[in-house]
Chain A
Amino acid sequence: MRMPRGYKRRLLVFLTIMGPGIITASVNQDAGGIATYSLAGAHYGYSLLWVLFFTTISLAVVQEMGSRMAVVTGKGLGELIRERYGLRPAVLMLSILVLVNLANTVAEFAGVAAAFEIFGIPRFLSVPLIALFVSWLVVQGTYAIIERVFLIASALYLLYVISAFLAHPPWGEVLRQTIQPSFEMDRNSLIMLITLVGTTIAPWMLFYVQSSTVDKGIRWKDYKYARFDVIVGAVVATGVAYFIIVACGATLHAHGVRIETAADAARALEPFGGRYASLLFALGLLNASIFSAAVLPLSTAYVTCEALGWETGVDRRPKEAPGFFSIYLVMIGIGAGTILWPNVPLIPIMFFSQTLNGILLPLTLIIVLQLVNDREIMGEAVNSPLSNLIGWGTAFLMSALTLLLLITFIL
């Protein structure tokens, strides 16, 4: 498939500026993310909105480091870890990444199941179908198809903004809570806080943004565009989160509805947001889940194979790249299989995968911070003191919050 030159050129200009950063941000708004934001809005109203202000800054700074490393070294994070720390630490790190991403993939299929159930389609039909579709996309799919899926996917995130407006929240109150931090010290709030940060800054994003920036081949001279892209991505990502929380806060929280499933989150919107609010919510969730269910295992397979030196590539036949296709298909298989297990609770799974992200983030962050401050690797492009402060601050805060969480479990 070839696109007409003019159209392609425009698309390329768009993709050159709005590249890896914004795509990473979009993929990150997945089923787990939507579940987390819905829960945050439903159970805590607007009171956690202020957190997003800080996560935006953290996200932008952390992603910027990855994208800078990509431009300077021309290598992905998995490769750098292997080259800098050796094989064993790299394998350990990648195993953890695979595990966490597996949990995330399960969450994506939970999202698929939940979204289809809103439409009244049982998961035993929807999940295998989507698993097949996603596998087909990689084995058979082409760049053009994936690209189009992405474009549609990104546009659909606007639905959340519409949903939020349809719910008619008290905007004055919303803004006040956005700038006024408040927090209660109990275990549930703590878990919510960790999860909220963990879903916005996920460990795999660091790997993903770096690899895709490497693939774009951005030169140091043009790095300012990459930086801009990452910042826009961070703002868009948290912007979407913001509107989901507002939508749920205005409807569910204001009427004291607690949600147990994603369908609850969608249905609960109905009486307040009009007939279509719930439909829109389900559509958005479905789109996010499918897109992330395809990309997450894909990026995992790439990162792992590149670090281990295995053949990679969607353009190869499974026989030529057995490791690559195995990782991808096993992740899809386990992801879909888990959801088909009878009586698996969907929302807790989605939520749990985000908590895992939050716990593992500090480890990834510390490694990234070490690499990005290594003069032998980065030369003059090592971190600025401000980036270090925010980076280490995020790593420290996440570790502290996680420790606090563990303490609340023990007490």
Chain B
Amino acid sequence: MLKEPPQRITSLTRWLSRPVVDSRGSEVGTLKDLVVLLWGLHPRVSKLCIARRGEEDLYLAWEAVAEIAETPTGPTVILDRPREELTPGDLRGDEMALRRNILDKKVMDTHGRRVVRVNDVQLEWRDEGYDMVALLAGMHSLLGRLVPERPLQWIASRFGIEIPREVVPWEHVEPIETELTKARKRAVYTKLAQLHPADIADIMEELNPSERAAILNGLEAETAVEALTETEPEVQAGVIQMLEPEKASDMLEMMEPDEAADILGDLPHAKAQELLEEMDPAEAEDVAELLEHEEDTAGGLMTTMYVAFHPETRVSEALEKLRALADEVETIYYLYVTDSSDRLAGVLSLRELMLARSEEQLHEIMIMQVITVGPKAPIRKVAETLSKYNLVALPVVDEDRRLEGIVTVDDVLDDLIPMIWKRRAAKKYI
């Protein structure tokens, strides 16, 4: 049993390929990997993997380490018994080999909201054992593996360069698995799931499609949908293609129809058709209708999730229905009044509805002069109309004045801002 090592804080790569000797001082092999037990906040080193010449790798319980001798070239692991008495162990399901599974791999830093590549693993001596406390990224740990520490320090101090150290505490690390390389167990992204969907979206944009798909599969459906809608349109289309059609259509169903239509519009026609068929028929119909419209027109921007009531609906009745509908529709600030053939008769705001007497019928209090646009109106005109009349949403009607949907101001903002100043992110590979 190891008492106290020469270094309380050390790093994985200092140990790798270093000799492992038995109690008599004869070499057993070289250290190939360290294994941690994935329990608690800081996984503890539980086994070592020794590479032996001409023999299979040997997994040995950490308890067999008697001493760690610090030599000028690095540490040497000394075991507490002769080599004949070594009893090989096996990797358990809740154990992880650091070199094989973490070192040189990509991980998510949920605190810094970015993706880093792991250059080293920091170990700290606590309560008679080594704990994995942090991962090292950045230039310092990168150079540390390529050139000896001393000349590096010398050059750095000579030229007054600060080589940045990046330490990611293990409690913020979420390993990445791709859909195709994932282990038997499905990853659960507990740390990631606690972030705001927009932050998850930021991290996802730094990954490639199959990694994104793996993350969406590991997140709760609602979080996954929210995170996905926050990403760039190209990303959305790519991820949807990577997911199983069933999962993809489930996610599309949970989105606003206009968002779903935007994504489907970016997919190859056959793929979009496949997903539409997989979706719930009612939802699919809404989306398919929106797909008919050109992308940057009122028809392409609008959502079919709005509130519309019959002219003879009473105020009290309307308020009650509104309560039930509020969750599903995009805005409840405007209520549209349509006749039995869906023709737009008037509009009233939530404020007007609440201030009205409860027995009044909607046609008595509604405003008849509704500002509308046609489905073919270009986005610029939609934006101008919204801004000119200070509206939150704008109804889209066809030639017969039938209400087809509404465009909310945020839909237009999303599209106008990039046009004006936010450059579309150029893609990596054409």
Bound Cα distance from A328 to B1, whole angstroms: 53
The answer to whether A74 and B428 touch (CB under 8 A), given A88-B146, A214-B208, is no
16 A-B pairs with C-beta separation under 8 A: A4-B294, A5-B294, A8-B265, A9-B269, A20-B429, A74-B178, A74-B180, A74-B181, A75-B208, A138-B426, A146-B427, A211-B429, A212-B430, A308-B142, A309-B106, A309-B142
Contact with A along B408-430 (1 / 0, CB 8 A): 00000001000000011111111
Q: Are B428 and A215 interface neighbours, CB within 8 A? A: yes
Tell me, yes or no, whether A141 is within 8 Å of chain B by CB. yes
Bound Cα distance from A4 to B266, whole angstroms: 10
Question: Which residue among A140, A211, A215 has the maximum number of chain B CB atoms within 10 Å of its CB?
Answer: A215
Chain B hits for A390, CB < 8 A: none
Chain A hits for B242, CB < 8 A: 217, 219
Q: Are A16 and B268 interface neighbours, CB within 8 A? A: yes
Instruction: Scan residues 203-257 of chain A and give those whose CB is less than 8 A from a CB of chain B.
Output: 208, 211-212, 214-217, 219-220
Instruction: Scan residues 242-279 of chain B and give those whose CB is less than 8 A from a CB of chain A.
Output: 242, 265-270, 272
Bound Cα distance from A13 to B270, whole angstroms: 8
> Closest CB of chain B to A196's CB: distance in Å?
26
Q: Are B209 and A216 interface neighbours, CB within 8 A? A: yes
Chain A hits for B179, CB < 8 A: 74
- Picked from B117, B210, B265, B300, the residue with its CB within 8 Å of the CB of A308 is B117
Tell me, yes or no, whether B234 is within 8 Å of chain A by CB. yes
> Closest CB of chain B to A29's CB: distance in Å?
15
Chain B hits for A217, CB < 8 A: 208-210, 212-213, 238-239, 241-242
The answer to whether A75 and B268 touch (CB under 8 A), given A83-B104, A315-B426, is no
Which residues of A pack against B, CB within 8 Å?
A: 1-6, 8-10, 12-13, 16, 20, 23, 71-75, 79, 82-83, 86-88, 90-91, 138, 140-144, 146-147, 150, 208, 211-212, 214-217, 219-220, 295, 298-299, 302, 306-309, 312-315
Instruction: Scan residues 380-425 of chain B and give those whose CB is less than 8 A from a CB of chain A.
Output: 415, 423-425
- Picked from A6, A12, A302, the residue with its CB within 8 Å of the CB of B428 is A302
Bound Cα distance from A138 to B426, whole angstroms: 8
> Closest CB of chain B to A252's CB: distance in Å?
34
- Picked from B237, B241, B272, B415, the residue with its CB within 8 Å of the CB of A219 is B241
Chain B hits for A313, CB < 8 A: 425, 428
Q: Are A314 and B146 interface neighbours, CB within 8 A? A: no
Q: Are B295 and A215 interface neighbours, CB within 8 A? A: no
The answer to whether A314 and B428 touch (CB under 8 A), given A71-B180, A87-B119, is yes
Task: Give the nearest-CB partner of A215 in chain B.
Answer: B429
Q: Are A314 and B426 interface neighbours, CB within 8 A? A: yes
Chain B hits for A13, CB < 8 A: 268-270
Q: Are A88 and B267 interface neighbours, CB within 8 A? A: no
Bound Cα distance from A309 to B164, whole angstroms: 14
Please give me the 9 A-B residue pairs with the lowest Cβ-Cβ distance, nearest first: A217-B209, A309-B117, A74-B210, A315-B425, A74-B178, A212-B429, A314-B426, A13-B268, A143-B427
Q: Contacts A9-B265, A9-B272, A146-B426 known; list 6 others, CB within 8 Å.
A: A10-B269, A12-B237, A71-B180, A88-B145, A309-B106, A315-B426
Task: Give the nearest-CB partner of A151 in chain B.
Answer: B430
Bound Cα distance from A314 to B428, whole angstroms: 7
Question: Which residue among A1, A16, A87, A138 has the maximum number of chain B CB atoms within 10 Å of its CB?
Answer: A87
Question: Which DSSP category, helix, strand, loop or mixed, fits chain A's interface?
Answer: helix
Tell me, yes or no, whether B296 is within 8 Å of chain A by CB. yes
Tell me, yes or no, whether B211 is within 8 Å of chain A by CB. yes
Task: Give the nearest-CB partner of A302 in chain B.
Answer: B428
Chain A hits for B268, CB < 8 A: 9, 12-13, 16
Instruction: Scan residues 292-323 of chain B and give those whose CB is less than 8 A from a CB of chain A.
Output: 293-296, 300
Chain B hits for A10, CB < 8 A: 269
Chain B hits for A299, CB < 8 A: 429
> Closest CB of chain A to B368's CB: distance in Å?
34
Q: Are A5 and B428 interface neighbours, CB within 8 A? A: no
Tell me, yes or no, whether B137 is within 8 Å of chain A by CB. yes
Task: Give the nearest-CB partner of B292 in chain A.
Answer: A5
> Closest CB of chain A to B211's CB: distance in Å?
6
Task: Give the nearest-CB partner of B182 in chain A.
Answer: A74
Tell me, yes or no, whether B35 is within 8 Å of chain A by CB. no
The answer to whether A142 and B424 touch (CB under 8 A), given A13-B268, A87-B142, is yes
Chain B hits for A208, CB < 8 A: 429
Tell me, yes or no, whether B105 is within 8 Å of chain A by CB. yes
Question: Which residue among A2, A217, A219 has the maximum number of chain B CB atoms within 10 Å of its CB?
Answer: A217
Task: Give the nearest-CB partner of B103 in chain A.
Answer: A86
Q: Are A5 and B238 interface neighbours, CB within 8 A? A: no
Tell me, yes or no, whether B116 is within 8 Å of chain A by CB. yes
> Closest CB of chain B to A135's CB: distance in Å?
13
The answer to whether A73 and B181 touch (CB under 8 A), given A82-B104, A219-B242, is yes
Bound Cα distance from A144 to B106, whole angstroms: 29
Bound Cα distance from A74 to B424, whole angstroms: 25
Q: Are B145 and A87 interface neighbours, CB within 8 A? A: yes
Bound Cα distance from A78 to B121, whole angstroms: 21
Q: Are B423 and A315 interface neighbours, CB within 8 A? A: yes
Task: Give the nearest-CB partner of A91 in chain B.
Answer: B146
> Closest CB of chain A to B7's CB: distance in Å?
22
Q: Are A142 and B181 interface neighbours, CB within 8 A? A: no
Q: Are A12 and B267 interface neighbours, CB within 8 A? A: yes
Bound Cα distance from A408 to B180, whole angstroms: 48
Chain A hits for B116, CB < 8 A: 309
Bound Cα distance from A75 to B145, whole angstroms: 23
Task: Give the nearest-CB partner of B425 in chain A.
Answer: A315
Task: Give the nearest-CB partner of A291 in chain B.
Answer: B430
Q: Are A146 and B180 interface neighbours, CB within 8 A? A: no
Chain A hits for B428, CB < 8 A: 211-212, 215, 298, 302, 312-314
Q: Are A86 and B104 interface neighbours, CB within 8 A? A: yes
Question: Which residue among A12, A73, A220, A312 has the maximum number of chain B CB atoms within 10 Å of its CB?
Answer: A12
Chain A hits for B423, CB < 8 A: 140, 142, 315
> Closest CB of chain B to A398's CB: distance in Å?
26
Bound Cα distance from A8 to B272, whole angstroms: 13
